[in-house]
Copies of this chain bind each other. A is one copy, B any other.
Amino acid sequence: MDIDAAKDNFTKYLKAGNYRITPERFQVLESVLKNDGHFDADGLFLQLKSSGSKVSRATVYNTLELLQDCGLISKYRFGENHSRYEKAFGRPHHDHLICLECGDIIEFVSDKLTKIQTDVCKENEFKSQSSTLQIFGKCKKCQEKE
């Protein structure tokens, strides 16, 4: 839907930072936009490769960092040994329930949580930039399996 808006956004970010507009960077962005859930760097690399792109892993990592810096994607570490990303463009902030059994990730939004975070930061005179609440456990489906 807002693919063009995302591209515009990225273009502006690149120009503003005096980064070059390269086809590789936009190939990565397009690949990112195809993913609806969470994805990782290597998955994205494979996805690009299978769609005929010749972008290298190095460029994928490099571009993911740029996309994160300009707010188009969010990066997470769900207690695994690799990072996960997801589209952030035009989406409200949300947090995650992570099933340790099946690996499923459930998203949720909580206004109250946002307020608590604001309060905690104020109390500690801390300037928040980003946050993540991760709840690990067992999802409904996996509980029923027993």
Give the residue name and chain of the B residue nearest to A138 (CB): B127
The reply to whether B128 and A143 contact each other, CB–CB distance below 8 Å, is no
Residue numbers in B under 8 Å from A79 (CB-CB): 75, 77
How many angstroms between the C-alpha atoms of A135 and B130 in the bound complex?
Answer: 6
The number of residues on chain A lying at the interface, defined by a beta carbon within 8 Å of a beta carbon of chain B, is: 34
The reply to whether B143 and A135 contact each other, CB–CB distance below 8 Å, is no
Mask of A113-146 contacts with B, CB within 8 angstroms, 1/0: 1001100110111111111111111111001000
A133 partner, pick from B108, B131, B143, beta carbons under 8 A: B131
The answer to whether A108 and B136 touch (CB under 8 A), given A79-B77, A129-B100, is no
A97 proximal to B (CB < 8 A): yes
